[in-house]
Structure 1
């Protein structure tokens, strides 16, 4: 690590839980961010600023005027650009020391699994249940950690799922695919700052996992921002889950 990098990350290196060794670990890590919107904006910005060495941005949308109320990685002059290109431009301006890869496409399960071959952690910043279930399946099939967040109206949710832990639940343990509602922010609205809150926490959990620190794995953190009320719910592994249960248990 050269002098410029030491200075850039100095406030983080001062933390005894990080130090130079932890900072180098972040620099050698690869995070995939699926969705460069409301949640993906702060998540990507903070992972880049913190020095995660490789970031892959996945999104197939273009920047629209209605995005700018909450998607802070984009700007008015980039309306019409692919979100991954707009996001990469912002990230490179913050930290030119890291590598950024962009995928301007909608991935299916097989494609996503292929891209996870050298990824350490996935940050699911999507806005629909179908994608979340697909990401969950891909992560547990490949043994890749998953930091998941969601926002709608004044409510936010946060959790982390770790396939390397035998007792870790998965997203399917939390929500059944047949019962999940399909509401999105475009249908019901969301407070501008809420994705920033939850996306920042999502990045925090990812950084902690990469550093080997305790995370919210096994918990679902729920924020009612209207009342500023936090709840922590224990999520147990479903022994019959079709995604994360062992074949002997689920059969």
Structure 2
């Protein structure tokens, strides 16, 4: 059930026929893991908390640095030196005290990552590290949990949804099995704040679509964002039957 306060708080999205009260209840009963609380994870966490996702699991081993504040909008100057998880939890609790926040402040190894993924309904990869992305993808395939993956660097971004519950869906390894072309980090190549904000907001949107069950999530599609020209392109991505991560598990 939704309380009177919840009906009022979420009234604008409940008005949408794609959401309605049933969809809002689905969000309230959902558990989501956000891996990375930087430029992408900031808008993801803010929008999912505001939308009423009932339980947010926040994973990041890093601390807030002054150089983060140009784009990582969940943190502020007073949080410099704090664990990003603690900074984010403070902000999110202020935005929506009605949700549950679970923090993971240490780096997730294979076992703890597998457990963290198994305990949620959906995962958002908001990191900028290829090895971590591969590990998160493998854990999602093993647990059959949908993964919303975003990336941004310089003035470019990309986004896709990988859903192991869908036999036609590729996984992250199908697309980037030989390494990502964006292995440079923002600290090395630079990035404009609104670019990560845009991609992170789109990740949050895709997560809401998957959790509630409306629209067409970006499964089997890779969205490319060119912020320099203001253009979007879409590429179709097929599952690789011989993929080392998802191929054998789906027959």
Q: Kindly report the root-mean-square deviation, in angstroms, between the aligned alpha carbons of the 2 structures.
A: 1.2
Aligned to 1:173: 174
TM-score by length of 1: 0.97
Inter-partner Cα distance in structure 2 for 1:147 and 1:181: 17
Deviates more, 1:107-116 or 1:44-53: 107-116
Pick the aligned partner of 1:238 from 237, 240, 247: 240
Counterparts of 1:79 and 1:45 in 2: how far apart (Å)? 19
- 1:223 matched to 2:225? The reply is yes
Q: Which runs of 5+ in 2 are unaligned?
A: none
Distance 1:41 1:179, change over 3 A: closer
Equivalent pair of 2:150/2:159 in contact (CA under 8 Å): yes
Task: Tell me the number of residue pairs that the alignment of Structure 1 and Structure 2 aligns.
Answer: 249
| Structure 1 unaligned spans of 5+ | none
Look up the match of 2:25: 24
Map 1:41-80; keep pairs closer than 5 Å. 41-80=42-81
Tell which deviates more after alignment, 68-77 or 175-184. 175-184
**What CA distance in whole angstroms lies between the structure 1 residues aligned with 2:108 and 2:77?**
27
Distance 2:236 2:183 in 1: 24
| Mapping for residues 138-153 of structure 1, pairs under 5 Å | 138-153=139-154
Deviation sequence 1:19-39 (CA, Å, 0-9, x none)? 111100000000000000000
- State TM-score, norm by structure 2: 0.97
